[in-house]
């Protein structure tokens, strides 16, 4: 059986959640597949991506450069001329021409809840492409039960058409034990002393202004010598999303993976008050690094962290401040931290790939 995969999003130089999903899932599908996997690219992938997959005889690479609208023109043409038995689109939109057996992953519907967090044209595109994906796909893979409920609610997709398959966690995400390395990375970003850490794109949906207000209340109550570090690249409406410049809040910009693991491992508390998440990779990564977590009690996050993290109403500034104070004064039991590591480890890319492959071959 020949399974085609749109791999165009798997090789981003500055990957975020969906790009990492595509890359890791493709890598692990190669390990578990008994079928031939043909990967379609719109530009030559980097050598390291080739190196990761060259050992698998079941992998084919097909690079098809095209200046614009690659998916609907060039990938569609390929589907018309030399179609695979099945097409899988893990992080984008299904081409206009596609095999009858086509699967797609829908990661989240945050644009439905917070439309102002996206430019108008992007929001329109997200709505139209998600509606189109949901209608023409043979099967939809959702990252979480929350996303499955949203697909049913907003697009009236039958439950029977949607499969929930949790993504995995990068096995390289582990606590950094070398304190000198942590201090070196902290110095690189101008961080001195203790800090709370947020990781994610800086945009309104991440709820950072309320987080800053809660942090202010926490500082007033405790006089704690601690900073709030916001790590992530600027997103849409960055200026509206970012808190006012203050000495106790540090904006790092995009942080590469090696530095990020050190920052996570050195944090006193990981804070993630996002208003909506389709999955929430940063929460898993923080738990895997042995960091106490405070996160929202909304969307998909309870599926990941309930019973381990401090779950808070993301609109309750005082509640967030109280959670910070509790961790600062009382700490978090080692048993809870260990449970967080175990929970994070249960989200395996191998399990994800096996479940996805079972769905694809079932088509």
Express each pLDDT in 347-362 by its tens digit: 999 999 999 999 999 9
Q: Are residues 200 and 307 in the same domain?
A: yes
Whether the Cβ atoms of residue 294 and residue 301 lie closer than 8 Å to each other = no
Domain holding 38, by residue range, is 2-168+348-362
Confidence at 105, pLDDT banded by 50, 70, 90: very high
Confidence at 114, pLDDT banded by 50, 70, 90: confident
pLDDT at 304: 94
Which CATH number is 84's domain given? Answer: 3.40.50.2000
Q: Are residues 113 and 211 in the same domain?
A: no
Tokens found for residue 27 = 């890598």
For the chain, percent of residues with pLDDT exceeding 70: 99
**DSSP assignment letter at 307:** T
Confidence at 12, pLDDT banded by 50, 70, 90: confident
Interval 173-191 mean pLDDT = 96
pLDDT at 58: 86
Interval 241-265 mean pLDDT = 90
CA distance 329 to 222: 9
For the chain, percent of residues with pLDDT exceeding 90: 81
Of residues 186 and 18, more confidently modeled: 186
Longest CA–CA separation in the chain, Å: 67
Q: Are residues 164 and 300 in the same domain?
A: no
Of residues 15 and 251, more confidently modeled: 251
The yes-or-no verdict on residue 236 having pLDDT over 90 is no
The yes-or-no verdict on residue 249 having pLDDT over 80 is yes
Q: Are residues 356 and 335 in the same domain?
A: no
pLDDT at 40: 97
The yes-or-no verdict on residue 323 having pLDDT over 90 is yes
Q: Are residues 339 and 227 in the same domain?
A: yes
Q: Confirm whether 300 is domain-assigned.
A: yes
Closest C-alpha to 56, from 32, 86, 23, 88: 32
CA distance 14 to 44: 16
Q: Which of 10-24, 212-226, 275-289 has the lowest mean pLDDT?
A: 10-24
pLDDT at 56: 83
pLDDT at 11: 84
CA distance 64 to 70: 9
Q: Are residues 86 and 194 in the same domain?
A: no
∠ CA 109-110-115 to the nearest 5 degrees? Answer: 115
pLDDT at 31: 92
Closest C-alpha to 152, from 183, 177, 130: 130
Q: Confirm whether 75 is domain-assigned.
A: yes
What are residue 105's DSSP bridge partners?
141
pTM of the shown model? 0.90
Q: Are residues 200 and 99 in the same domain?
A: no
Q: Are residues 152 and 28 in the same domain?
A: yes
HSE, side-chain direction, 13 A CA sphere, residue 76: 11
User: Please, what is the average pLDDT of the chain?
Assistant: 93
Q: Confirm whether 174 is domain-assigned.
A: no
Q: Are residues 230 and 320 in the same domain?
A: yes
Q: Are residues 206 and 258 in the same domain?
A: yes
- How are beta strands 310-312 and 59-63 bridged, if at all? unpaired
Give me the helices (H) in 166-278, please: 179-188, 208-222, 238-241, 257-266
The yes-or-no verdict on residue 251 having pLDDT over 90 is yes
How far out from the chain centre does Cα 208 lie? 18
Interval 110-138 mean pLDDT = 90
Report how many domains make up the chain.
2
pLDDT at 65: 94
Q: Confirm whether 310 is domain-assigned.
A: yes
pLDDT at 290: 96
Q: Are residues 105 and 252 in the same domain?
A: no
Dihedral angle computed from the Cα positions of residues 198, 202, 206 and 209, in that order, rounded to the nearest 10 degrees: 90
The yes-or-no verdict on residue 204 having pLDDT over 90 is no
Q: Are residues 309 and 355 in the same domain?
A: no
Of residues 339 and 16, more confidently modeled: 339
pLDDT at 235: 80
Closest C-alpha to 130, from 102, 104, 153: 104
Q: Confirm whether 173 is domain-assigned.
A: no
């Amino acid at each position: 059986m020949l399974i085609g995969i749109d791999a165009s999003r798997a090789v981003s130089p500055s990957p975020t959640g969906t790009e990492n999903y595509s890359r890791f899932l493709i890598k692990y599908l190669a390990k578990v597949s008994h079928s031939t996997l043909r990967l379609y690219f719109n530009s030559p992938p980097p050598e390291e991506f080739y190196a990761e997959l060259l050992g698998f005889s079941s992998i084919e690479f097909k690079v098809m450069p095209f200046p614009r609208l690659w998916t609907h023109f060039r990938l569609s043409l390929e589907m018309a001329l030399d179609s695979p038995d099945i097409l899988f689109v893990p992080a984008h939109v299904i081409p206009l021409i596609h095999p009858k057996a086509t699967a797609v992953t829908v990661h989240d519907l945050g644009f439905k809840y917070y439309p102002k967090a996206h430019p108008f044209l992007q929001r329109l595109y997200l709505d139209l492409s998600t509606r189109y994906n949901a209608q023409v796909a043979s099967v939809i893979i959702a990252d979480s039960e929350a996303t499955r409920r949203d697909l049913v609610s907003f697009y009236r997709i039958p439950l029977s058409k949607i499969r929930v398959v949790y993504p995995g966690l990068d096995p390289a995400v582990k606590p950094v034990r070398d304190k000198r390395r942590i201090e070196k990375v902290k110095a690189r970003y101008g961080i001195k002393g203790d800090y709370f850490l947020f990781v994610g794109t800086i945009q309104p949906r991440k709820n950072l202004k309320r987080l800053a207000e809660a942090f202010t209340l926490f500082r007033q109550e405790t006089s704690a010598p601690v900073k709030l570090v916001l790590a992530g690249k600027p997103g849409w409406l960055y200026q509206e999303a970012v808190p006012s410049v203050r000495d106790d809040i540090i904006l790092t910009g995009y942080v590469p993976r090696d530095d990020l693991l050190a920052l996570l491992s050195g944090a006193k508390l990981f804070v993630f008050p996002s208003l909506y998440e389709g999955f929430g990779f940063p929460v898993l990564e923080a738990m895997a690094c042995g960091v106490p977590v405070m996160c929202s009690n909304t969307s998909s996050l309870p599926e990941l962290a309930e019973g381990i993290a401090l779950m808070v109403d993301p609109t309750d500034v005082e509640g967030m401040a109280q959670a910070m104070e509790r961790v600062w004064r009382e700490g978090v039991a080692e048993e809870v931290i260990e449970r967080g590591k175990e929970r994070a480890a249960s989200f395996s890319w191998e399990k994800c790939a096996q479940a996805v492959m079972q769905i694809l071959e079932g088509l």
